[in-house]
Structure 1
């Protein structure tokens, strides 16, 4: 795939990602999908913020940040409304507070290196709560297929987490931590693809999408392994992470529909 084609695929997803499939949560499969998407968005927003700060895919990064924030806001309202009383509802109240703090870091000021660690830290707090909410919805579903929706959705997050830490490292922000987290996420991503591929619930359509995921993973992994810290190398990571995200978002939706 050429670089220009990668850009074209990516830009299409950036626009499609903000169009809600449902005006509200349609069921537990949809809840797991959207809750897991909040995890991804926590990392995608910081990736875009780092891109803006370094002039990496700046125009696209701005669009990704704005659209991701809008989508996070909308899905948070939907999930909080859908969440039953108790631990799940309490988790989304906490997430709402953490999101407010995170959003205040992302907007209203030009991205600067001296604020980057705070953005990274708050992205992690939002991620942890979004992950907890996803797990609680999975437990409520009580079906084996619910785990597959969660795992597929987590692949979306891992794609953005690796890109986030790559861009953090390229800005000399938490470099040792960033390299460790990229390695850890890489080690988790590949076996999860195998789990999704070999699951009894995997339809022919899902397996076909996972072949595309394998191809996009190769592009992304090669970009991550580039030792040259340049604007082009970082742009390759940014774009290829979006392409991988696009495929894994489709796979997650497919598993969510199988679950019902």
Structure 2
């Protein structure tokens, strides 16, 4: 597929999904806003992961789907969060996010995935992540509730799953920052600490406890795949394992975050 075809396909798909989503979705509660703001953090990392996977021909069909749907979701949720924003500080931060997002999205869509742009994406996604995290913490602080904190922590686990996978795929493609192993290990420690906090929450229902147990099992497989980083033998299969296991744990943690949101 040539450059024009790549851009046209993605823009058309994203446009169609966005129109449908704008018509049916709104943020109706503070905990939902925390959930969706936290999901923006995750999408910043998931988009980079999908781009890196496409560039290497890893799970191509699924990676394209991830890129398309994540672009649409980020645009949709940004519009929803801007409409809901409960404070002027939050509104200002979301405006800043929008500026950074437009630059990031431009690079994601401009050309077929390539190593030169991938190195730029490794910078731009961090900027969007930083602002999205600040916006989420703002909403949690505004909430002032223990449940708001759990929604934030659970939602952050989604981001960490994609962040670790992103670093793995960047290292696999030779576009990772020099301190990639330090950052990967920091994300791993944060994820383990987050699981400990969630498992200890006294407000957990039976369903949440069951889902957390499932997430813990998935983490064992995901962590095992991540620890293959840098091994040249079967490197492609290991990269595929990271791609698939990161999606499984993301799906479970997204469901858990929704369950916490509903407890409010």
Shift, 1:108, TM fit: 2.5
Matches for 1:234-253 after TM superposition, within 5 Å: 234-253=239-258
- TM-score w.r.t. length of structure 2: 0.89
Which of 85, 101, 104 does residue 103 from structure 2 map onto? 101
Cα distance per residue 1:4-63 (max 9 Å; x no partner)? xxxxxxxxxxxxxx996x710010110000000000000000000000111111111111
- Cα distance change, pair 154–195 in 1 and its aligned pair in 2 (3 A): same
The aligned residue for residue 3 of structure 1 is: none
RCO (CA 8 Å, sep 6+): is it higher in 1 or 2? 1
CA–CA distance in 1 between the matches of 2:188 and 2:87?
36
SS in 1 for 2:110: coil
Which of 60, 67, 74 does residue 58 from structure 1 map onto? 60
CA–CA distance in 2 between the matches of 1:32 and 1:108?
31
Which of 110, 113, 118 does residue 111 from structure 1 map onto? 113
CA–CA distance in 2 between the matches of 1:115 and 1:81?
32
Shift, 1:132, TM fit: 0.7
CA–CA distance in 2 between the matches of 1:234 and 1:76?
31
Matches for 1:5-84 after TM superposition, within 5 Å: 23-84=25-86
CA–CA distance in 1 between the matches of 2:176 and 2:75?
28
CA–CA distance in 1 between the matches of 2:170 and 2:79?
30
| Contact 2:122–2:176 under 8 Å retained in 1 | no
Q: How many residue pairs are counted as aligned between the two chains?
A: 243
SS in 2 for 1:173: coil
Shift, 1:175, TM fit: 4.9
The aligned residue for residue 259 of structure 2 is: 254
- Segment drifting more, 79-88 vs 154-163: 79-88
Cα distance per residue 1:110-146 (max 9 Å; x no partner)? 1111111110110000000100110111011111111
The aligned residue for residue 163 of structure 1 is: 165
Shift, 1:174, TM fit: 2.6
Where structure 2 has 5 or more consecutive residues not aligned to the other structure, the ranges are 1-17
Where structure 1 has 5 or more consecutive residues not aligned to the other structure, the ranges are 1-17
SS in 2 for 1:24: coil
- Segment drifting more, 94-103 vs 221-230: 221-230
CA–CA distance in 2 between the matches of 1:93 and 1:48?
25
